[in-house]
Structure 1
Amino acid sequence: MKPPKYLKRPGRQLFRRIQAEYGITDAGGIALLVRAAECQDRLAAAWKIIDEEGEVTRDRYGNSRLHPAMALEKDARAGFLQAMKQLNLDVEPLKSPGRQGKKF
């Protein structure tokens, strides 16, 4: 299955990688995967703004305030993690369990 056309590059890459690795084909799984990919796009957009403008801005009185993109980043990250958790993907161990012990 192809990712939705409106997804940007980060979202499309995530969609393709996870769909190929886990073979998600059911409607519910695809909906959650699309949601995770949308959040990935929002995260990438927020990171770009934060990189260009910084994490802190000044208000009209000269006081330091968190950049509004920081809230976008926080919400997108939470949505991404929630969608990934709901997908309930099995994660393989990074290393093999090692050799078997001796039987007595």
Structure 2
Amino acid sequence: MKHIIPKHLSAPTRRWIKQILADFDLESFHFRLLTKAGEAWDRSEQARELLAKEGITTPDRYGVAKTHPAIAIERDSRLAFARLLRELALDAAAPDSRPPRTPDYGARR
């Protein structure tokens, strides 16, 4: 099946998706999950870059330091990426993600 990689994804993410598509035969619903994982990765990187530039705190209207809103964006996007990757259950390495789920995930030994 031919999948069209969305152009709004960053170049490194599009290359990563191309590599996954070369290594795995994905159904359309898997491809959608993979695309969402790529979007989550890109969003977390955008937030990370913003935080590197602006810092992890920002002044509120009274001048008191508060947590930068991009902290939550980065955290939520990283979690979404890891969960989507785990849901895909691919045996593929990805930065900052947990290993994919296995059939015995959560089983007691």
Shorter-chain TM-score bucket reads 0.7 to 0.9
Alpha-carbon distance in structure 1 between the residues aligned to 2:92 and 2:43: 25
Aligned to 1:40: 41
Q: What 5-or-longer segments of structure 1 have no aligned partner?
A: 93-104
Matches within 5 A, 1:43-82: 43-82=44-83
Q: What 5-or-longer segments of structure 2 have no aligned partner?
A: 94-109
Alpha-carbon distance in structure 1 between the residues aligned to 2:92 and 2:12: 21
Aligned to 1:6: 8
Give 3-state SS (helix, strand or coil) of 1:12's partner.
helix
Greater RCO structure (CA 8 Å; 6+ sep): 1
Aligned to 2:22: 20
Alpha-carbon distance in structure 2 between the residues aligned to 1:71 and 1:15: 25
RMSD over aligned CA atoms reads 1.8
Alpha-carbon distance in structure 1 between the residues aligned to 2:25 and 2:56: 36
Alpha-carbon distance in structure 2 between the residues aligned to 1:56 and 1:46: 13
The list of structure 1 runs, each at least 4 consecutive aligned residues, that deviate by more than 6 angstroms after superposition, is none
Task: Give the TM-score normalised by structure 2.
Answer: 0.72
Rate the CA distance shift 1:24–1:39 in 2: closer, same or farther, 3 A: farther
State the number of aligned residues.
91
Cα deviation per residue 1:57-84 (whole Å; 9 max; x = unaligned)? Answer: 1112222211111111011111101110
The percentage of counterpart residues that share the same residue type is 35
Greater Cα radius of gyration, structure 1 or 2: 1
Alpha-carbon distance in structure 2 between the residues aligned to 1:25 and 1:89: 10
